[in-house]
Amino acid sequence: MKVLKEIMWLLHKDGLLEWRSGYALGGILLYVLSTVYILYASFEKIEPPLWNALFWIVILFSSVNAITKSFVQESGARQLYYYSLLNPISLILA
């Protein structure tokens, strides 16, 4: 139960940080929309399965990019502080 509470706290903290810096979510949305448009303009006629695969690849790369940015934003001292306070499983799952 403690691990679940810690995970919820970490998700809440990350959500608050993302909400305060609203440009991050807007940047990801702009990246996805522009990439989808470029793919659409490049391949005028795409079969639906191929279109679906390309769309999910774009979503995957943008989410990996967002996750990487969230790890870079945290300082090493703050991460060490979290490691001393929280269960490592909570940090990995959150």
Give the chain's domain count: 1
Q: What is the DSSP-derived secondary structure letter of residue 9? A: H
With beta carbons less than 8 A apart as the criterion, state whether 30 and 65 touch: no
CA 16 and chain centroid, separation: 14
Does 83 have pLDDT greater than 70? yes
Global pTM exceeds 0.85? no
Does 85 have pLDDT greater than 80? no
The pLDDT of residue 87:
74
Q: Which domain holds residue 19?
A: 2-93
Tens of pLDDT, residue by residue over 13-24, are 877 777 777 667
